[in-house]
Every structure is written in structure tokens, then in C-alpha cells.
A and B are shown apart, each in its own frame.
Chain A
Amino acid sequence: MKESQSRSILAMVTLDNKLISNSGVPCFLAKDKNEQEKIASELGRTLAGNVYGLINGVIIITQE
């Protein structure tokens, strides 16, 4: 467990690209909920980050 004061977003996975505007981080567009979770899980593993779900259905991967 690394401790840092703030974390930055490493990537986002969304079903609806209108939900994300002017993002400075890589965004991935998924076809359905299933694919979104799979992509998020893979990204979480490869980037060694934490996966969080937002209320609007967007999944973000942050630094650990």
C-alpha cells in the first residue's frame, strides 16, 4: 500500500463518450457493461492501479 496525498487518474473506461469531455487522460470506449468491466480490470492490472466506479457508469483507474 503506497501512501500519497493525492492520486491522479490514469485512465477512464466509458460506455458513453458524451460523459467525458476534454479529458487529459486516456479514455476507452466500451460496447457494453461487460466489456467495460473487462477493460477496466485489464487496465487496473497493467497499470497497477485502483478501479473505481462513478455514479454515472464511468469507471476510472487511479494510482494506487
Chain B
Amino acid sequence: MDSKNILELSTVLYISVGILVGFIGRWWLLRGDIRQYPTYPNGYLIHLTTGFIAASIGSVAFPALLANNFVAVTFLTLAIQQFRDIRKMEKESLKSLESDVSAPRGDAYIDGIAKSFEARNYIVMISSLTTTVIIFVLERYLDNTILLISTGVLVGFLVLNLLKNYTKGHHLRDIMTIEDGKLHFKEGSNLYVNDIYVMNVGLSATRERILKNGLCVIMKPNGNSEKIILNHDGQRKAIMHECSRLLGLERYIATRRNFDTGELALVLVPIDKDIDRLKKILFSVPILETVKKEIK
């Protein structure tokens, strides 16, 4: 075989450094949070593998260009197509689970989750790309391999960190405070939290159950644009989904908005009756991307 066709060892080393940076980056971006999907080994494996592939594509692109291989750029577009497929797949799999849960996630939430998965692959790809670009460009000026690689790794992680902070979402704790409410019935069967009407319950046995086991809070948005966020239907579905998923749902979950003040009342009858945990969950519900766009 022509020795020209065999990669130099240093090139292989540089490329693998790029891949490694991307892969570690994906690992770092992987959220092991119970609020987040995925929580399970299979989910981890899927995302680490696609992250590895993204890192490989990112780090090979620049060296391939240097070798006069312009096909490498079309490779990138192919990769983007692949990652969009990942988003679609994620969306479909989450949508197919919707009918199985007591409080559905809602389309806006699913869209946000799928988008962030796609975005994470791009973050990995970009950081891998910058790592190898830096290494290959500096190679002409620097003789010291260790210095070269460490500079590349440093810049790679810097880009990773920047993108991570840029794509970081906010949580409900940034926009609201929570107050305790009091559950009571008026006019026989109308359930109120303080003065916010929530729902009508016809049976006295159910009314007793709600009064005995139910939890309720009132969420107070900090300002007018925050009111818009809390009023969004998708956001409210996300809130209900997270509460019912983490506390369990005996029966009934509902949110109602006070039209005058923009406050949101939440009532649920959970399996795990723990008001402090409920507040913690509510504070850490992510603000959906689609809603954020609307207020800007």
C-alpha cells in the first residue's frame, strides 16, 4: 500500500483528542436528574453513542479538508440530517407515551426536550471541531505536542462551556414565588384554593378525600411577562406532568388561573403527600423554550 494513504500517527492522535473532548463533553451534558428524560441505562447509552458519533464527525471534518477531501463538508450536512432524525425519533417516542401517563407532558414540553437533545449533539460536534482546528492550525507554530494538545483541549472545553451556558434553560424559581393555599368548598361542590375557583366535585366522598389528602399551592409570578409564561397552556401541562410524575397521583390534578392577578392555583391529590417536596418540584420545573420566545 502507498505510504501516503496511511495516516500519520500524530494526525490520528489529534483526531482522537478531538473525539475525546466531544465525548467527555456529551457525558458532562448528560443529565442524571430524575426530572429529566432519560433516567435509564438504555437512554444513557443511546445518547453517549450518538454523542461519540457527533464528536467523531466534528473532529474528522477539518483534517479531511486539509487532505483536499471536500466530501467531508457534505458529511457534516449528512450528520445534521441524522441528528434531526434523532429529534424526530425522540419526539415520536415521547408522544407515544402520552396516553399512558395520568397528566400528559404536552406538545410544547416534548418539543423542548427533543430540541435540547438535538442541540447537545451540535454542541459536541462544534467543540470537537474547534479542538481539532486549533490543534491543526497551531501545529505549524508549536513544536511541543503536549502543549499543542492541552491548548486544543482547553479551547475545546471553553467552547463547550460557553455553549452549555448559552443553551442553559431557566427554571420556574427564577420567575415566581409560592404561597400556601387553603382548600375549601363553597356552594356545596365548588372547590376553591383561597379565592380561586378550581373545579366542581359532585360526590361528598370525593370532597372529603380531596380535603383530607389533597395538596394545594398558589404560584405567584413576579411580573407581567412572568404572568404570560405561567398562563401558557404547555407550561401548565409541564407543571402538572412533573408534579404527578414525581409525587404520584391518587386522583385529580388541576391548575386554575386567577384572571385578575395572574396567580396560578394548583390542586392535586398525590400518593406521596409532601408539601415541601411539591414546592421543590415546582421551583425546578423548566421554563419551556417556546414560551420564552413569546415574551422576547
Contact = CB atoms under 8 A, between A and B. Distances in A.
A1 interface: yes
Contact of B200 (A1, A41, A44, A53): A53
The B contact surface, by secondary structure, is loop
Contacts of A44: 202-203
Contact of B188 (A41, A55, A60): A55
Interface in A13-52: 37, 40-41, 44, 50-52
A55 to B, nearest CB: 5
Given A1-B102, A1-B103, A51 B187 contact: no
Interface residues of B, number: 13
B188 A53 contact: yes
Contacts of A40: 202-203
B104 A53 contact: no
B202 A52 contact: yes
B204 interface: yes
A52 B102 contact: no
A61 B201 CA distance: 11
Nearest to B207: A53
Interface string B171-203: 000000000000000011100000000001111
Contacts of B204: 37
Contacts of A51: 201-203, 206
B200 A37 contact: no
B193 to A, nearest CB: 18
Nearest to A54: B189
15 contacts: A1-B103, A37-B203, A37-B204, A40-B203, A41-B205, A44-B202, A51-B201, A51-B202, A52-B189, A52-B201, A53-B203, A54-B189, A55-B188, A57-B188, A59-B202
Interface of A: 1, 37, 40-41, 44, 50-55, 57, 59-61
